[in-house]
């Protein structure tokens, strides 16, 4: 899983799963570009890398196609190539019944979680990967596999990510591989409200009896963006401690 000589872009790379993936890819020898809306978060993230000369930070808003084009262009200009794109950035401004979501919450979630997958993949394709090939990895969620209490619209956008992964894998083959990871509940700042006050109860229902850690997702991400998975495309890998692998309770 040597990534020496390759350049990777990780959106939402200043913390949580995105930062863990960026660090893991960097440890494998790749040059890494991390993006975030907040410059101060990027500055803190840069301090966590062993070799900061191989990491570049770009402030960008993933919900904008113009920003996606600029981010990809900046990555190529800085390191000379763009071989890997990890579409990790995500948001969830609404928790509650799907029918109560506001237009602004609905639009923001769509732009960041769903549309950004396409705009960043398209920018990478047109600016580099069409001629040189590459790998795209999307971060979905087990919420995209079925209903989720309180997370309805978030889950809808993550279901779209899973289908976008299949569609892009079909359209961009054979020069570009496209896969996704669907994490379960991971100990991140974005998900803090879901686990902070009831972690014991939640983990009792997970077969492996613990929450996921960003490192769990980063390990699989490294496999999927490397040549170790050179015959894998269009797939969504579930990493959830067994959460979705439970008896149905029915009588067979």
What CATH number does residue 52 fall under?
3.40.50.720
Residue at 86 is within a domain: yes
167 vs 194, which has greater pLDDT? 167
Domain span at residue 200 reads: 7-238
For the residues 34-61, what does the mean pLDDT come to? 96
Using CA atoms, how far apart are residues 59 and 93, in angstroms rounded to an integer? 21
Instruction: Write phi, then psi, for 35 (nearest 5 degrees).
Output: -130, 155
Specify the pLDDT at position 251.
57
- Active-site positions? 154
What are 198-220's pLDDT values in tens digits?
Answer: 888 888 889 999 999 999 999 99
Q: State what percent of residues in the chain have pLDDT above 90.
A: 88
pLDDT bin (cut points 50, 70, 90) of residue 188 is confident
9 SS3 class: strand
Q: How many domains does the chain have?
A: 1
Residue at 243 is within a domain: no
Residue at 250 is within a domain: no
For the residues 171-175, what does the mean pLDDT come to? 98
What are 67-96's pLDDT values in tens digits?
Answer: 999 999 999 999 999 999 999 999 999 999
Beta bridge partners of 212: 186
Residue at 140 is within a domain: yes
Specify the pLDDT at position 246.
85
């Amino acid at each position: 899983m040597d990534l020496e000589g390759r350049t990777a872009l990780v959106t939402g790379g200043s913390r949580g799963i995105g930062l863990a993936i960026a660090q893991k890819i960097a440890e494998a020898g790749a040059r890494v570009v991390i993006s975030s809306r907040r410059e101060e978060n990027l500055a803190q993230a840069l301090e966590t890398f062993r070799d900061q000369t191989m990491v570049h930070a770009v402030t960008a808003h993933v919900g904008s196609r113009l920003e996606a084009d600029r981010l990809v262009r900046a990555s190529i200009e800085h390191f000379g190539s763009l071989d890997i794109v990890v579409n990790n950035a995500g948001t969830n401004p609404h928790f509650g019944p799907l029918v109560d979501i506001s237009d602004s919450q609905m639009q923001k979630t769509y732009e960041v979680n769903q549309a950004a997958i396409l705009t960043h993949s398209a920018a990478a394709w047109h600016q580099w990967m069409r001629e040189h090939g590459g790998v795209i990895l999307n971060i979905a969620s087990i919420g995209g596999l079925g209903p989720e209490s309180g997370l309805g619209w978030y889950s809808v956008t993550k279901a779209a990510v899973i289908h976008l992964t299949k569609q892009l894998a079909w359209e961009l083959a054979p020069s570009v591989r496209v896969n996704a990871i669907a994490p379960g509940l991971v100990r991140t700042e974005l998900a803090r409200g879901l686990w902070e006050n009831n972690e014991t109860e939640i983990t009792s229902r997970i077969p492996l009896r613990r929450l996921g850690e960003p490192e769990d997702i980063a390990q699989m991400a490294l496999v999927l963006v490397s040549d170790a998975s050179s015959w894998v495309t269009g797939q969504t890998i579930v990493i959830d401690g067994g959460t979705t692998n439970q008896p149905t309770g029915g009588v067979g």
